[in-house]
Amino acid sequence: MNLFTRLVLFYLEAKGNKWFRYFATFCRIGVALAFIPSGFVKVSGERFTALPSNNPLGHYFDALHLTGYYYTFIGAGQLITAALLLIPRTAVLGALMAFPIMLNITVLVYALRFEGTRIVTLILLANTYLICWYFDRIRYILPFKKADLGIPEYKAVSKKFPVKFFAMVIAMIAGVIIGNQYMYDIRPGNSPEECTNGCPGNDNPEACRQFCDCIYNQGKPLNVCLDAYEKAPKAR
């Protein structure tokens, strides 16, 4: 039995299992709820975040806020995506619309070393699960023939709790949380105080404080402050 056949059989088993369906519903609602607050704020024309303007991500949202009706357009798109996800009949379209948005946000927050990378990553993973869950419907827009995929109809018959799958989910959540903890040696934090509070445990506390000053007081770009931090001599 080749790998593709095993994946097909696993997919059929999952589609016929109530616990996988419950998890799909949980992910669908969770992703939708993540879009509603941000979309509503943008449609209302308010600043999206409480991050200070000199924070790298705060600076980005300040610029985005000044784009006028484009800012409103983004918010409307997020609200429409959330509504589509909440309605079972349109959830597939909602999942497809949400994925590029979440992928873009995830790359953005990692690039700017935002403290909220963990929750954003988990939302993207939930969205990815939805894409996989609706593959039996999405496949019709892919350049494959139904016969080529070899996916027959499934029946909802299993009530067995998928222990291995949910153990993997828990492991992935733990991996995201722990991995983000050690991914960067320094982050700007969400405020000047949060940035400087991490300096005592840094390998180079003085360079860390200079980094925070560079970000929040001097208002320099993240890459400039990171370059200065990396070139700073370490205290002996």
The per-residue pLDDT for 214 is 94
- The predicted-structure confidence for 186-212, as pLDDT tens digits, reads as follows 999 989 999 999 899 888 899 999 999
In the predicted model, is pLDDT for residue 182 greater than 80?
Answer: yes
The helices-and-strands tally (H runs, E runs) of the chain is 12, 0
Q: Residue 162 phi/psi, 5° resolution? A: -80, 85
- The predicted-structure confidence for 122-145, as pLDDT tens digits, reads as follows 999 999 999 999 988 888 787 765
Lowest mean pLDDT among 35-44, 134-143, 153-162, 213-222: 153-162
pTM of the predicted structure, to 2 decimals: 0.88
What is the distance between the alpha carbons of residues 111 and 62, in angstroms, rounded to a whole number? 17
The per-residue pLDDT for 157 is 64
Q: Residue 158 phi/psi, 5° resolution? A: -95, 135
| pLDDT tier at 146, thresholds 50, 70, 90 | low
In the predicted model, is pLDDT for residue 147 greater than 60?
Answer: no
Q: Residue 17 phi/psi, 5° resolution? A: -110, 130
CA distances from 32 to 41, 50, 109, 150, 211 (A): 15, 22, 19, 32, 37
Q: Chain-centre distance of CA 164, in angstroms?
A: 24
Q: Are 168 and 190 contacting, i.e. CB atoms less than 8 angstroms apart? A: no
